[in-house]
Amino acid sequence: MALISPSRRLRRTPFSDGVEAAGVKAYTVYNRMLLPTVFRSVEEDYRHLKDAVQIWDVAVERQVELRGPDAGRLMQMLTPRDLRKMQPGQCFYVPIVDETGGMLNDPVAVKLAEDRWWISIADSDLLFWVKGIAYGYRLDVLVDEPDVSPLAVQGPKADELMARVFGDAVRDVRFFRFGWFEFQGRPLVVARSGYSKQGGFEIYVEGSDLGMPLWNALMEAGKDLDVHAGCPNLIERIEGGLLSYGNDMTDDNTPHECGLGRFCNTNTAIGCVGRDALLRVAQEGPVRQIRPVEIHGAPVPPCDRLWPVMDGDQHVGNISSSAFSPDFNTNVSIGMIRMTHWTAATEVDVVTPDGVRAATVYEAFWQ
Amino acid sequence: MALISPSRRLRRTPFSDGVEAAGVKAYTVYNRMLLPTVFRSVEEDYRHLKDAVQIWDVAVERQVELRGPDAGRLMQMLTPRDLRKMQPGQCFYVPIVDETGGMLNDPVAVKLAEDRWWISIADSDLLFWVKGIAYGYRLDVLVDEPDVSPLAVQGPKADELMARVFGDAVRDVRFFRFGWFEFQGRPLVVARSGYSKQGGFEIYVEGSDLGMPLWNALMEAGKDLDVHAGCPNLIERIEGGLLSYGNDMTDDNTPHECGLGRFCNTNTAIGCVGRDALLRVAQEGPVRQIRPVEIHGAPVPPCDRLWPVMDGDQHVGNISSSAFSPDFNTNVSIGMIRMTHWTAATEVDVVTPDGVRAATVYEAFWQ
C-alpha cells in the first residue's frame, strides 16, 4: 500500500482530531474527504464491530439540502422511488438516476419537513446534478451543502451507549426513522440507520464545532462498553450485501442491475427524470445483476479493479469487492453477474491477480 | 502520513502499471482516481523536473465531452470567458461558474470541432453539472466521459523527447494549441500545455489500450535524456502560481477572487449562467484575492487545512498551499488575502501547526 499525501483538497472532518488520536492506520477518499478504513486491523475492527460498539466518522456522507416550495418536486425528479407517502421523520434509501436510468448515487433521503430535505450521499458530487436540474427547471428551491456531518454509532451495544448520551427515548427510534435529540442544548437529527448490519444510529451533527465534544462524550460514556473508533468495515459490509457506489455500481448501471428494484416504483414515480428510460427494464428486469459470490481457497488480495468472472472462455460478469471473512471462513465477494449464470449455486471461475479461482454464485448474502 | 486503502472506487489509470513500476511512493485522489504525488522525493522530483523531462500520469484530468448541434451553446453557458473567437485547434483555460458565480471547476476546454469539445477537468464531478444543465435546457448535445486519459510530458527536454516519438512537427505546436499526431497508427490530440512552468505537452490518449505502449515508447526514447516518471510537483506549482481547485479555491470563490479576471469577459459572454451574478464583481473587483505569500523561517509542515493569516487580532486571509522551495530558500505559499492586506510587501502573521510565523504578501509569484 502507498501513502496518501495530505492537502486541503482531501478535506478533514469535524471528527478528524478524534480519529487521529484513536490511531487511524489508513484512509480512503470519499467525496473529496478523508474516510478512515483501518484502526487496529480490518479483522480486529470487524470482530469488535460485531461484539461491542464503535464510533464512526462518516462525515463523508455529505448532505445535499433541498429547501423551499419546490423541494419535494425536485426530490421526486431525482429518484424512481415513489415518495408521495413519505412523512417527515422518515429516511428512505433512494436510487438516484439520470435521464438514461444510470445510477448517479445511492443516498439516504431524510425528510425534515414538507419543504426541507437532506440527501445523505454516497461517493459522487450529487450536488452538481441537483443544482443543474434545479437551475435548468427554474425551481424555487435552495440547493446547498450545509455544515452537517454524520457520526455513526454501530454495533450490538449501540442502543446502550446512545441512551447514556441522548437519554432512553433514543431507544424508541425505529429503523430508518429519526427523531430530534439535544446535545449541549442543540437539537440534532438522530436516525436508526448506518452502513453495517450490526444495528445502530447515525447522528447528523449540525455545526462542526459540536464534532469533537460529541465524539468525546460518546467515548467517555462508553468506556465500560469497550467503545472504540471504527469505520465501515470491508468484510462486514460485503457479508451483509451493503453495496458501495463506485465499487459495486457506477452510472453504467440501472437500479435493477444493482438489485434495487424493490426501491423503484417507476410507474408511479411521476416526474423522475429517468422514468422513461427505466419503464421497460422495470417491467422486464435486467440482464445482469449484483450477486454474492464466494471465491474459494486462500484469502484474495485487495480488489482494486474489476476481476473477470468466467465460464470457460465466456465472460459472464465481474467481481467488484472481495475480502476474506473470518466468520464464514471464505472469500465473500460482490459481483455483477449475467442472467445466464446468476442462479444460486452456479459454479464459475474468477480471474484474480493471484490466478484463476473456483467460485460459486449465490442469491442471498451472508447473514 | 497514513496509508491509502485500495479499492475499485479509487480508479486506476491506463498508466498505473508504469507508475507502479517506476516506484511511486504516494498518491492523492483526484476525480475518484489515483494521482501520483511522489516518486523519489518531492524535492528530488522538483529538481529533476526543472533539469530534465518527466512523464506524468494525469489521467485524473478526466474529459467531459460535449458533442452535437448545441455543444457550443452549452460550452458558453458554463463559463464567463467569451468563446466566440475560439477556433478548433485551440485550448482555453476556462473558469466554470454556477448561477451564483461560484467556481465549480477550472478546466482547459479543447475545441475539437464546432460541434465537439473536451473539457479537461480539475477535481470535481463537472460532468454532473453539465448533464444537469443540458437536460434542464433540453439541449441537443451528448454529454459523456469518454475513454480519454491525458499523459503529460513536462520539463526542459520535453520538445526533444516528444519529437523522437511523434516527429519534429510536434515542435511547432504553439502554447495552448493542439495538433493531431499519430501513435501506432492512431491519431491523438497533442497540446502544448501542462500543470508546470517548465514547458511541455499533454497527450490526450484516446483508448486505454494505448496507455502503456505510449508510456513505454516515451520511456525508451528518453533514456539518454534522463526521462523519469513524475507528477505535478507541489513546490514547483506553488512557485509558478498554478492554482489547485479544492485547495486554493472552491465554489465559495468567484473567478475574480482567484485572480482569473483576465479569463472573464462577463459583459460579452452571453448565455453564461453565472453572468448576472458576476457582472457587478467583474466591474468593481473582489474584496479578497489569491496572493503569493512567503512564510519566513524553517520549512513548514504539509498544509492540509486553511492556515489563518492574521494582522494582530484581525483575520485577513488564509493560506491554502505551502511548501519549502529549495531554489528560493523559503516557504512559498498561496493564500486568499483581504483587500486591506493584499498590497505587495505587506507583513502579516500565519498561524501554522508549528506556531505563528512571520510572512510577507506579494503580487507576483516566484518565477
10-residue mean pLDDT profile of chain B (367 residues): values are: 95 98 98 98 98 98 98 98 98 98 98 98 98 98 98 98 98 98 98 98 98 98 98 98 98 97 96 96 95 98 98 98 98 98 98 97 95
Q: Which residues of B touch A276 (CB under 8 A)?
A: none
Q: How far is A166 from chain B (nearest CA, A)?
A: 31
Residue in chain A lying closest to B42 (CA): A5
d(CA B68, CA B143): 9
Q: How far apart are CA A177 and CA A111, in angstroms?
A: 10
Among all chains, which residue has been given the C-alpha cell 412523512? A87
List the single best residue of A3, A234, A305 to mutate versus B (max B Cβ within 10 A): A3
The residue among B319, B316, B264 whose CA lies nearest residue B294 is B319
CB nearest B25 (choices: A3, A10, A126): A3
A4 contacts B246? CB cut-off 8 A:
no
pLDDT at B367: 83
What are the residues facing B206 on neighbouring strands? B148
Q: Select from B291, B301, B287, B288 the least CA-distant residue to B357.
A: B301
**Test the A interface: residue of B12, B131, B147 with most A CBs within 10 Å:** B131
CB B81 within 8 A of CB B361: no
**B170 to chain A, closest Cα gap in Å:** 34
Inter-CA distances, A354 with A236, A291, A302, B17, Å? 23, 22, 11, 16
Beta carbon pairs, A and B, within 8 Å: 176
Quick one: cell of B168?
519534429
**What residues of B are in contact with residue A131 (Cβ under 8 Å)?**
98-99, 129, 132
Domains and CATH numbers, chain A: 16-61+147-238 (3.30.1360.120), 63-144 (3.30.70.1400), 287-367 (2.40.30.110)
Distance from the Cα of B225 to chain A's closest Cα (Å) equals: 28
Name the residue among A4, A129, A130 with its Cβ closest to that of B26. A4
Q: Considering chain B, what is the average pLDDT of its residues? A: 98
Cell numbers for A137: 427547471
Q: Give which of A38, A36, A21, A114 is closest to A75, Cα–Cα.
A: A114
CA distance A267 to A276: 9
Residue with cell 516519438: B165
Of B3, B99, B302, the CB nearest to A25: B3
Q: Do A8 and B135 lie within an 8 Å CB cutoff?
A: no
Angle between helices A126-136 and B126-136 (to 10 degrees): 20
Residues of A in contact with B1 (CB under 8 A): 3-6
Q: Do A27 and B3 touch (CB under 8 A)?
A: yes
ipTM: 0.96
Nearest CA in chain B to A30: B32
When scoring B1, B13, B29 by the number of chain A Cβ atoms within 10 A, the one with the most, hence best to mutate, is B29
Strands A355-361 and A288-295 turn out to be antiparallel
Q: Is residue B202 marked as binding?
A: yes
Contact B40, B229 (CB under 8 A): no
A contacts of B129 (beta carbons < 8 Å)? 128-129, 131-132
User: Strand pairing of A314-325 and A307-311?
Assistant: antiparallel
CA distance A16 to A59: 10
Residues near A272 by Cβ (< 8 Å), separated by ≥ 6? A76, A77, A78, A79, A80, A97, A266, A278
- Report the sign of the C-alpha dihedral through residues B92, B97, B103, B104, in that order: negative
Residue of B nearest to A139 (CA): B136
Q: How many residues in total does chain A contain?
A: 367
What pTM was computed for the model? Answer: 0.97
pLDDT of residue A1: 75
Closest in B1, B8, B320 to A6, CB measured: B1
Which helix (H) or strand (E) segment is B44 a member of? Answer: helix B42-51
Nearest to A244 among B3, B9, B132 (CB): B9
Centre a 10 Å sphere on the Cβ of residue A23 and count the other Cβ atoms it contains.
11
* Tens digit of pLDDT at every position of chain A (367 positions): 799 999 999 999 999 999 999 999 999 999 999 999 999 999 999 999 999 999 999 999 999 999 999 999 999 999 999 999 999 999 999 999 999 999 999 999 999 999 999 999 999 999 999 999 999 999 999 999 999 999 999 999 999 999 999 999 999 999 999 999 999 999 999 999 999 999 999 999 999 999 999 999 999 999 999 999 999 999 999 999 999 999 999 999 999 999 999 999 999 999 999 999 999 999 999 999 999 999 999 999 999 999 999 999 999 999 999 999 999 999 999 999 999 999 999 999 999 999 999 999 999 999 8
Of the candidates B5, B136, B302, the beta carbon closest to that of A37 is on B5
CB contact under 8 A, A305 and B246: no
Q: Do B9 and A131 touch (CB under 8 A)?
A: no
